[in-house]
Amino acid sequence: MTEQNKSDPSRQQLSPPPSGQPKVKVRPGRIRQRNREQILAAAEKEFSSKGFGATTVQQIADRAGLPKSNVLYYFSNKKRMYYALMDGIMGRWNDVFSNVRPEDDPATTLAGFIQVKMEMSRTHPLASRLFAMEIIQGAPVLKEYLSTSMKDWVRERAMVIQQWIDTGRMGNVDPVQLIHLIWSSTQHYADFQVQILAIEEKEAYTKKDFKHAAEFLTQVILRGCGLEVPE
């Protein structure tokens, strides 16, 4: 533990010395590829259920079905695994959320945004929880990302929403707060899964549960913005 260990004060950045692999001149290597993926999958499970500091390399190795030193051969240290995971999450995030233009329909666009975020909560709950823990813990790794890429992303969307408001195409609500609202309410189904399942007396989510929740959120949030819910 003690993530703030001896090592470099040059953390805080995504992908440190990005050269983790030995520079052997071998093509991709099926085994290498497979092992890396297994390790990352295991690391995601462990990190997302205990956080970085409480997870041991041994636990990751056990779950990946490899000896610890093999894991450290691929990723040289614990931090590098964490960075790699964060990189993956942010990459996926950037890919999924397409652009928005002022001429788009507000209701359809917002409904689509809710849809996509709910789909991410459903299909990638571990990534969601990992991200949530990183943020709750003060975003030691992602702070930079938040105040650059993510800030810009929000600001751009907020400007389009503001244009919709100014042209009378939706009710007058704070666009940034609206994005926070969509973010938090959809995220919740992944992050607070245990709480929701306990309250609803279920063992696990079904696809239907998510559909129902997405419809609820779409209805309430769109109406709350003075919009008609699209078909």
Using CB under 8 A as the criterion, which residues of the chain lie in contact with a second copy when the complex forms? 1-3, 48-56, 129, 132-133, 135-139, 143, 146-147, 150-151, 154-155, 171, 173-174, 176-178, 180-181, 183-185, 187-189, 191-192, 194-196, 198-201, 212-213, 216-217, 219-226
- Smaller CB separation from DNA, 79 or 188: 79
What's the closest the beta carbon of residue 202 comes to a second copy, in angstroms? 11
- Smaller CB separation from DNA, 1 or 198: 1
The residues of the shown chain that bind DNA, judged by CB under 7 A, are 1-2, 5-7, 22, 24, 26, 29, 31-32, 35, 55-58, 66-70, 72-74, 76-79
Residue 217's binding partner among DNA, a second copy, none (Cβ under 5 to 8 angstroms by kind) is a second copy
CA–CA separation, 41 and 85 (whole Å): 9
Lookup result for tokens 């964490």: 82
What's the closest the beta carbon of residue 90 comes to DNA, in angstroms? 22
- Smaller CB separation from a second copy, 33 or 159: 159
CB 161 within 8 A of CB 93: no
What's the closest the beta carbon of residue 4 comes to DNA, in angstroms? 10
